[in-house]
Amino acid sequence: MLIMNGGRTAELANIAKGINMNSLHVKGDWNIAKGKLKQKYAQLTENDLQYREGCEDELVGRIQKRTGDTKEAVQQFVDECFKS
């Protein structure tokens, strides 16, 4: 609930929009990265590519297990997916 307090309501609304836009941006970036991962590693399933914030190591581990690549190689490719 927002309480009208001068310009504070508008400020809080803009902060909420910023958080929402950042979430959408991250989600869009993840969808692009996921597509690149699927192109390189066709054997990956949707379950392999489930991503939860703060659980990046689990994601890399699932990809590593499915592909047989080293953890370092998978991590490097994931990082490259987000850079381009």
Are the C-beta atoms of 38 and 66 separated by less than 8 Å? no
Which pTM value belongs to this model?
Answer: 0.63
The CA-based dihedral angle spanning residues 36, 38, 39, 43, taken in that order and rounded to the nearest 10 degrees = 150
pLDDT at 17: 46
Is the pLDDT reported for residue 16 higher than 60? no
For tokens 């910023």, what's the residue?
Answer: 18
Q: Who wins on pLDDT, 30 or 47?
A: 47
pLDDT digits (tens, 9 = 90+) for 51-81: 877 888 898 999 999 999 999 999 999 888 8
Are the C-beta atoms of 56 and 71 separated by less than 8 Å? no
